[in-house]
Structure 1
Amino acid sequence: MRLIFMGTPDFAVPSLHALRDAGHEIVAVYTQPARPAGRGKALRPSPVQVAAEALNIPVHTPERVKRDIREHEIFAAFQADAAIVAAYGLILPPAMLNAPRLGCLNVHASLLPRWRGASPIQSAILAGDAQSGVSIMQMEEGLDTGPVLAEAAVDIAPDETASTLHDKLATLGASLLAETLNAPLRATPQPKDGVTYAERLTRESGRIDWSRSAVEIDRQIRGLTPWPGAFTELNGVVWKIGGAQIVPSETKPLPGETLDDALTVACGEQALRLTRVQRPGKAMMEGDAFLRGQSVAKGTRFGG
């Protein structure tokens, strides 16, 4: 097929390569513009732009597309059979959704209609879902409401993080996309039952409330790794928590209070032993290694 590819982060890169490897003609790649990054705030192109340039595919980086009629005209002039969208990050107007012969197809990281919206990977872990997956969807104006052409599921492991699940779904989405385009396209409307929405995450999403259960906080830590990251405070200093282990607790201390000198912290139900921690200006460390350089006494209270 003659395709336009639209994506921005790492998640989209395997799909771009899968299309190229399958022999499709990619006439243009759309991605968000380079953004300031790192300590020097130098402009850094998106992972998709880097991948596209390595493949010698023309790259377009409009700041906005929703109301830019000139961009609509440029997009339509490619006369594509379809546009493939994978975490592009900009809302496409009807003029662009309807321009390709077969419309726009989206690689979405959930089993629709569960987890429509901005953070489907993280939301699946936060909610304790047993499975996640990828849906190839025909795009329309609604938020991830279009009919589904194909889907594939994966189990969520007990120690799954958003990072590991992201990588699994990126690879799965790429292979599913290639398979879908290699067969007649048949879309099935999404069921009306089971619709959930994944909220846009902020840094504050990572703040730990120790009055919640250890199970919930463990999901928060895993679901928000690597970004925005779960965190708590001790004496006004922010600690980022990169891993924890649920442990039973028969005592009833205050939530956030350490039960020993091994970083075991009381929760609303049970407790968590912090296995990976990071203080400002330091690297993430294993809990045991951290405690060899600094002690945290029993009875210390986090978040209080």
Structure 2
Amino acid sequence: MRLAYLGTPAAAVVPLRALVAAGHDVALVVSRADARRGRGSVTSPSPVKAAAQALGLPVTERVADLVELDPVPELGVVVAFGRLIRPPVLAVVPMVNLHFSLLPRWRGAAPVERAILAGDEVTGVCVMAVEEGLDTGGVHRRIEVVIGPDETAEELRGRLVEAGTAALVDALGGGLGPAVRQEGEPTYAAKLTPDELRLDWDGSVVAVHRAVRVGGAWTTVGGRRLKVHRTAVPPTGAVDGVVVPAGDGSVELLEVQPEGRGRMTAGAWARGAHVAPGTRLDP
């Protein structure tokens, strides 16, 4: 099938490679503009752009370029693109989107993170038709995935990408068939703000652990920011863990990152910062 592919982050690289390996003709890849990524001021391409170039595929930043292809693609495939597709383009190139939730739950930009933060036990991935609305299209394929109790957003996203890629390749190989209309009350997955990821030590230990699993959680100690990368609930008694109190119990810090420093075990941080056992964080 003659395809267009629209994606940006690393999560969108695996489906692109799989579609090429399955023999599809990817006529054009659309990705975000080069940007400063990581430390330093050097601009670099998005992971999808870099992968497309390595595969010898043409790349553009302009979605409108799709309608100028001759012949136009039979279908566009969207994976974590980060931009809405305008109706004039959809009128020429129909599209499907690989969305990492069981729609209509968690429409929007951060479905994986929101599922973990809300305590969902099951999530999934949908191959869905792209419409003008935000993730409102009918669903062609739906795969359920159980969320592990300690699974991070990065780990869960990796499993969803794997399941979604298989579903996408199967759908395009065997025919999409009719889309099934979404049923139920939608919920929305807005991007998380830094304030949402500030750990609330008066809240439950489960809520603290969920926020850490999402990624980007932080607190303060002595007025200085401390990123928290890994925790255990209930505490495991890890050799280099640090147990701290929360609203309804204790949380074991396993890996942290002090302000201006690299990641380290919580024990190494506590010894260096002279943090006494049982110290309450973010008072």
Q: Structure 1 178/299 Cα, relative in aligned 2: closer, same or farther at 3 Å?
A: closer
1:242-281 mapped onto 2 (5 Å cutoff) = 242-247=229-234, 263-281=242-260
**Counterpart AA for 2:189:** A
- After TM superposition, give the deviation of residue 269 of structure 1 in Å: 1.6
Residue 81 (structure 1) aligned with residue 63 (structure 2): no
Q: Secondary structure at the match of 1:89?
A: coil
- After TM superposition, give the deviation of residue 297 of structure 1 in Å: 1.2
How far apart in 1 are the matches of 2:176 and 2:67?
Answer: 26
1:8-157 mapped onto 2 (5 Å cutoff) = 8-62=8-62, 71=65, 73-74=67-68, 77-100=70-93, 103-157=94-148
Q: Structure 1 267/56 Cα, relative in aligned 2: closer, same or farther at 3 Å?
A: same
Q: Secondary structure at the match of 2:233?
A: strand
15-24 or 286-295, larger mean C-alpha shift: 286-295
Provide structure 2 residue ranges, at least 5 long, that are not aligned to the other structure.
none
- After TM superposition, give the deviation of residue 169 of structure 1 in Å: 1.1
- After TM superposition, give the deviation of residue 292 of structure 1 in Å: 4.2
Q: Normalized against structure 2, the TM-score is what?
A: 0.92
Provide structure 1 residue ranges, at least 5 long, that are not aligned to the other structure.
249-260
Q: Is the contact made by 1:13 and 1:48 (CA closer than 8 Å) also made in structure 2?
A: yes
How far apart in 2 are the matches of 1:263 and 1:272?
Answer: 8
Q: Is the contact made by 1:27 and 1:78 (CA closer than 8 Å) also made in structure 2?
A: no
**Counterpart AA for 1:190:** Q
Counterpart position of 1:293: 272
Q: Secondary structure at the match of 1:197?
A: coil
Counterpart position of 2:217: 230
1:144-183 mapped onto 2 (5 Å cutoff) = 144-183=135-174
- After TM superposition, give the deviation of residue 291 of structure 1 in Å: 3.5
Q: Secondary structure at the match of 1:6?
A: strand
1:196-215 mapped onto 2 (5 Å cutoff) = 196-215=187-206
Counterpart position of 1:190: 182
Counterpart position of 2:226: 239
How many pairs align? 278
What is the aligned-residue RMSD (CA, Å)? 1.8
